[in-house]
Chains A and B, each alone.
Chain A
Amino acid sequence: MPEVKKWAIDVRMSFEKTGMAKFISHLDTVRCITRAMKRANVPIWFTEGFNPHAFLTFAMPLSLGFESLCETVDFRLMEEVDLNELAKKINDALPVDITVKEIYVYETSPNYIRWAEYKIIFNNPDSLLLDKAHSVLSADEIIVLKKAKQGRKKVDKEVNIKEHIKSFELNEEDGKLILQTVLSSGTSININPMLLIGALVKDTATDEQDVDIIKVQSYTEDMKVFR
């Protein structure tokens, strides 16, 4: 029998994950959004195995504790619906701190993500931190300890992350120190901002936990905004 081709369209939903939602882990976010889709009756494509489940593709997992203004999830719609209305419906079915921005037909696959921009706010910086940060970021190499695996053993490896820092900008505001920086991101190499923060606060009295981290934007290789 010839296969009946069903109407379908692949779309991307961009959303923000802010406030207390930063404490929802990646896996829990996936489940949370899956349920919201169900509550909103989104005509989403389900896998066709014995145990059907909604098929969702998230671009990059966000670390626990980070906020983000640029999360995306891709899925397939099996019925024609108004995308703006759909965005509103899903938003209503989500908890307060996860907010849908837009649903649209996309062109770029998440594999093309190469850079990510972060806004890092040191809430209680040591008075030395600004100078320290400047000298670290301007040095020829920035050596950090990265957790790696050697066979099955977990080891700390020294890595130079200098080439993975595309740009940075430091500003002081109301006693806080704000670092805006673009770091390598993507499936092949991904620099967690905590690594950089660790290098900056080292030998200062700044608490590395008392830092707010916001992922602002993702970019492709040629620094075009990923959307």
Chain B
Amino acid sequence: MVKKEVEKLLKKVQKPARYTGGELNSVVKNKDDVKLRYAFCFPDSYEIGMSHLGMKILYSVVNERKDAWCERVFAPWEDMEKFMRENDVKLYALESGDSLDEFDLIGFSLQYELCYSNVLNMLDLGGLPVLKKDRTSLTPIVIAGGPCACNAEPMVDFVDIFLPGEGEEVTNDIIDLLIKHKELGSTKLEFLKEAAQIQGVYVPEFYDVKYNEDGTIKSIENTENAPQKVTKRIVSDLDKAHYPKNFVVPFIDVVQDRTVGEVFRGCTRGCRFCQACYITRPIREKSPETINEQCRSISSATGYDGISLCSLSTSDYTKIEQLIPMLFDWALKENINVSLPSLRVDNFSDELMEELKKVRRSGLTFAPEAGTQRLRDAINKNVTEEEVLRTALKAFDGGWTSVKLYFMMGLPTETLDDIKGIADLAQKVVDTFYRNPNREKGKGVQVSVSCASFVPKPFTPFQWEPQDTPESLNEKQKHLLSSTTSRKITISYHQSETSVLEGVFARGDRRLGEVIYKAWQKGCKFDAWDEFFDFSKWTEAFNECGLTTDFYANRRREYDEILPWDVMDYGIRKEFLIEENKKAHMSVTTPQCRIKCAACGANKLNGGKCDARS
């Protein structure tokens, strides 16, 4: 419950319902009935955080326990932060209204690198020391997970424990252990030492990192009996894994405000630029019955009128043809709309198209990622131009008139010819529409080309590659605009400086902690938002610390260089990644996992099992 002094502030801010709590299905317990209080923090706005599936799952995992209470905390928007600081109101959790410093365990979800400054800001607003060395008592313990935990090094000054991999089980392990040590009255060190023995728990202070004179890493040494490498945790069987029976239903419009059915984890495609593919392996599918049941339960508990199926490449789900009719059977009767994001162009069947026609059609999105076949081969995006056009034709037959095409810029081995190829491909999609006699009459076609800047990430074959410089990207963006002639095509692309920062943190080391701390002190926050991002402050911070962004982002790394994330074991073999990197430079593709197992090594995490091989 929000306290009275906060209520006064709420009358002055935009969208006050972000800060009130009390949403349907939010869990309120009596704090005296639980042994541990967990604040799940999402370091971005309410609207972004409330759309995140991982948070919904972990919220439900913890709240199912009788002895613990999980609450939600989001980064307050600028106006609210200002009033909070002026009135000495600390950042509070939405369920109880209690401030962060009253919690035992504080967990951050690190979904993207540009949220790092918000983590510091939230700790500070919550009344806690930002630096972990200044938090000396047993509680609160600050933990963090999410994709960025695969290279947590830039954040080790602020976070006590990182949890690489999936959180369903390890969260419970950490809670059990912290309850035990609270009852024993242990010190923080005693707790951390025992935590480091749990699989998938990385306690960074137990690892000594030494550097060479050129700034590269000389050695990483484990101390205090912590394992040499931390192996990420996975859930073995998704049919048995915990999944929420309901979602908290926000009052205000959030980004993803509907039922989400998770279909499978991992990805079989092996696109060389894509970190999500490699860090979520091995492949584990859910049965259609489980997915159907979960969607039904959440829909009836929330009153949502839409369902999204969610995974890295939903149409690669082997039982999609069974699942879709199952869902449609009840959803359509109840006026519930089913949408399937991330469909791939190469397995879009006629039957699926017919089913999709029954529901409201949204735009159609393809991600060819690169403009020419040569570059698509280099990044292992196994899609041909012919396939893109054939699928577009099918979609136009089905009545679609707008298509979104996703590309990347700054990919390894890319030339200006590849950039022109983007415009050419978009033009061919436009031509396909007008050549089609069955097209929707009286309507024009709209092709939106969206170009992201490529950022090399850990645990991908491109982890050694230099990132393209902003100058080069600007030149390429201009080239793309001048290569586009049709008014049916709209082009959009990203600001390139945010990509620099993203790239630096993605492959950064521990020395960046000082930079993040200084930048936060200068007022950096919400760096993922254009209206807040201030690169000049970041540049100042880098200069003051004597570090450069070039060293982290734009330098080619040798295969034998010790990488900051070598302390993590995500199952993927380094030799496999080196092999894939070499093949990229030769524009040689690797078939997707279901055609031929590429022996990435991730199946060892699941006792040798991988659903792509069954």
Chain B, interface SS category: loop
Complexed CA–CA distance, A50 and B15 (Å): 32
CA of A20 to CA of B3 in the docked complex: distance in angstroms?
Answer: 11
Q: Is the CB of B251 within 8 A of A32?
A: yes
Report the number of A-B residue pairs with Cβ-Cβ less than 8 Å: 68
Within 8 A of B (CB), among A1-53: 20-21, 23-25, 28, 31-32, 34-39, 46, 50-53
Stretch at the interface among B133-141, B301-309, B385-393, B572-580: B301-309
- Selected from A39, A46, A64, A96, the residue in CB contact (under 8 A) with B301 is A39
Q: How many B residues are at the interface, by size bracket?
A: 20 to 34
Tell me whether A35 and B22 are in contact in the complex, defined as CB-CB below 8 angstroms, given that A24-B17, A25-B17, A25-B252 are known contacts. Answer: no
B300 touches A39 (CB 8 A): yes
Which residues of chain B have C-beta atoms less than 8 A from A38's C-beta? 303-305, 334
Given A23-B10, A34-B303, A51-B360, also A64-B252 (CB < 8 A): no
A35 touches B249 (CB 8 A): yes
What is the CA–CA distance of A95 and B23 in the complex, to the nearest angstrom? 6
The answer, among A20, A32, A39, A46, for a CB contact under 8 Å with B20, is A20
Asked if A96 contacts B22 (CB within 8 A), the reply is: yes
Check A35–B302 contact: CB distance below 8 A: yes
Residues of A within 8 A of B16 (CB): 23, 64-65
Give every chain A residue within 8 A of B7 (Cβ-Cβ): 20
A34 contacts which chain B residues (CB < 8 A)? Answer: 303
* Beta-carbon nearest neighbor of B300 in chain A: A39
Contact B303 A46 (CB under 8 A): no
Q: Contacts A23-B10, A23-B17, A28-B252 given: A37-B23 contact, CB under 8 Å?
A: no
Known: A35-B304, A39-B300, A46-B335. A28 touches B11 (CB 8 A): no
Q: Which residue of A lies closest to B11 (CB)?
A: A209
Q: Which residue of A lies closest to B23 (CB)?
A: A95
Contacts of A36 in B (CB 8 A): 24, 303
Asked if B240 is at the interface (CB within 8 A of a chain A CB), the reply is no
Chain A residue at smallest Cβ distance from B21? A20
Asked if A93 is at the interface of the complex by the 8 Å CB criterion, the answer is yes
Q: Tell me the complex Cα distance, A25–B18, Å.
A: 11
In the complex, chain A residues 50-71 whose Cβ is within 8 Å of any chain B Cβ: 50-53, 64-65
| A176, chain B: closest CB distance, angstroms | 14
The reply on A210 being an interface residue by CB < 8 A is yes
Closest to A28 in B: B251
Is B360 in contact with A28, judged by CB distance below 8 angstroms? no
Residue of B1, B7, B252, B303 with most partner-chain A CB within 10 A: B303
Measured in the bound complex, the distance between the Cα atoms of B337 and A50 in whole Å is 12
User: Given the complex of chains A and B, what is the CA–CA distance between A50 and B325 in angstroms?
Assistant: 20
The answer on a CB contact under 8 Å between A39 and B302 is: yes
Q: How far is the CA of A95 from the CA of B10 in the complex (A)?
A: 19
Chain A CB within 8 A of B253 CB? yes
Q: Is B443 an interface residue (CB 8 A)?
A: no
A35 to B305, CA, bound (A): 8
Q: How far is the CA of A210 from the CA of B24 in the complex (A)?
A: 28
Given A23-B10, A25-B17, A39-B302: A95 and B335 interface contact (C-beta under 8 Å): no
Interface residues of B in 20-46 (CB under 8 A from A): 20-24
Task: Decide if A39 touches B303 in the complex (CB within 8 Å).
Answer: yes
**Which residue of A is nearest B16, CB measured?**
A23
**B-side contacts of A64, CB under 8 Å:** 16
Given contacts A21-B22, A34-B303, A35-B249, 11 further A-B contacts (CB under 8 A): A20-B20, A23-B20, A24-B252, A25-B17, A28-B251, A35-B304, A35-B305, A39-B302, A52-B335, A95-B251, A96-B22
Return 25 A-B CB contacts under 8 Å, by A number. Answer: A20-B1, A20-B2, A20-B20, A21-B22, A23-B16, A23-B19, A23-B251, A24-B251, A24-B252, A28-B17, A34-B303, A35-B249, A35-B303, A35-B304, A38-B304, A38-B305, A39-B300, A51-B360, A64-B16, A93-B24, A94-B24, A95-B22, A95-B23, A97-B22, A209-B8
8 smallest beta-carbon distances between A and B, as pairs: A35-B303, A38-B303, A23-B16, A39-B303, A20-B20, A24-B251, A28-B251, A209-B11
Report which A residues bind B (CB closer than 8 A): 20-21, 23-25, 28, 31-32, 34-39, 46, 50-53, 64-65, 93-97, 209-210
